Amino acid sequence: MQTPPPDAERRRAIAPVICYPTETLPPVDLPLYADALGTAEVIDTVIVPPRDAACFSAPAGHFFRIVSSEGPQVGDLNLWNAQDLSERFYSGKTRALHGTHVTTGDRLWSSFPALRPMATIVADSLDWYGIDAFGGSVHDVIGTRCDPYTHRQLSGGTYHHCCHSNLTRALAARLGLPIAEAEPHVHDVLNVFMCTGFTRDTGQYFMKASPVRPGDALTFFAEIDLLGALSACPGGDCSTEHSSDAASCHPLIVEILRPEPAGLTGWAPPPVNGYDRSHGT
Ligand SMILES: [Zn+2]
C-alpha cells in the first residue's frame, strides 16, 4: 500500500457534490397518479410461480402492482417497450438519477437513445423502511440478477432457476423465440422487495432478509406500452443464499389496473430524448 501524501486528510475532507441533481427533471405529479389509481380496476392478474418467471403487459396509462403473497419473496423485474425491445429498463442510469434504491416518486428510465421514464413508482408499502443501520434499503438498482454464469464461476455448479434463466425462459415463451434469441434481451433488473446495500468496511454488495410481508406491494404507472417480466428469485427472502433450491420461496402476484380515462387529464406519454445523436460529427 502507498504511503498517504501529507495532505491526505485534507483531500478526503472535500465535500461531495451530487452527480445528477434531479430538480430539472419533469416533475412527478403524484396527486394525479393517486387520483387515477383511486379509480382503477384490476383487469388482469398474473401469478409468478416460485423459482420461475412470468411476463405481463401494461399498456401506457395503466398501473401494474407487484404484490407479495404467502411469504417473504424477492422479485427481479425487467421492462421493455412493448413495440421495441431495444428500448429497455436502464438500471445504471436509474441508479445515477435516483440513488441505489427507489421508492414512490422515482422513475424507471429506459436505455439510450430513448432515455425516458418507462414507469413511475406511485405507491410503496415498504417506504417506511428507509436506510437501516447496515446501510441496507429495499428495491435496489445496484444488483444485476442471479445468473448461472456467476454461479458457475463461484461454485462450479449448474443451476437453471436463477432469475436470469427464469426471465429468459419467460420471454422466449411469450414471444415464441428460441432461448438463445431471448437471452440477450434480458437485462439488469429492479430488485423488487430485496433488501441490499454495500458493506461500510469493504464496499461489497450485501443482501439481508427482506422486510416484505404478504400484502405488501409496489405499484407503478406505465408511462409507455410495457412488456414486463418478473422472476420470483430462488433466494426467496434473500436472507441466506440464492442460486439453489435451499431457500423457502413463494409466488408473487402482478396485477394490471386500468384507471378511468378522465383521471389522467393532463398526462401524456413522455417523448424520447431530444438529443440529435450526431455525437459531434
Ligand atoms: Zn434472483
Please give the average per-residue pLDDT across 39-45, as a whole number.
97
pLDDT, position 241: 80
pLDDT at 246 over 90: no
Q: How far is the CA of 266 from the centre of ligand 1 (A)?
A: 38
For the chain, what percent of residues have pLDDT higher than 90? 94
Distance 218 CA to ligand 1 centre (A): 18
pLDDT at 271 over 80: yes
**Confidence tier at 114 by pLDDT (50, 70, 90):** very high
Give the pLDDT band (50/70/90) at residue 29: very high
191 C-alpha to ligand 1 centroid (Å): 8
Q: What SS3 state is found at 157?
A: coil
Answer yes or no: is pLDDT of 244 > 90.
Answer: no
What pLDDT score was predicted for residue 247? Answer: 85
For the chain, the distance separating the N- and C-terminal CA atoms, rounded to the nearest angstrom, is 44
134, 206 Cβ separation under 8 angstroms: yes
pLDDT of 36: 97
Q: What is the pLDDT of residue 119?
A: 98
CA of 52 to the centre of ligand 1 (A): 10
Query: Taken in order 208, 52, 149, 99, is the CA torsion positive or negative?
Result: negative
Predicted structure pTM score: 0.96
- 90-105 pLDDT, tens per residue? 999 999 999 999 999 9
Task: Give long-range contacts, CB 8 A cutoff, 24+ apart: 91-98.
Answer: 91/141, 91/144, 91/187, 91/188, 91/189, 91/190, 92/141, 92/188, 94/141, 94/190, 95/141, 95/142, 96/19, 96/20, 97/20, 97/22, 97/25, 98/22, 98/141
pLDDT in tens, 215-241: 999 999 999 999 999 999 999 999 988
d(C-alpha 207, C-alpha 260), whole Å: 39
Q: Domain-by-domain residue ranges, the chain? A: 43-261
Confidence at 245, pLDDT banded by 50, 70, 90? confident
Model confidence pLDDT, tens digit, residues 54-74: 999 999 999 999 999 999 999
State in Å: Cα 132 to ligand 1 middle: 22
Q: How much distance in Å is there from the Cα of 217 to the middle of ligand 1?
A: 18
Confidence of residue 204 (pLDDT cuts 50, 70, 90): very high
- State yes or no: pLDDT of 267 exceeds 80: yes
CA 189–ligand 1 middle distance (angstroms) = 10
Encode pLDDT of 120-155 as tens digits: 999 999 999 999 999 999 999 999 999 999 999 999
Asked if pLDDT for residue 254 goes beyond 80, the answer is yes
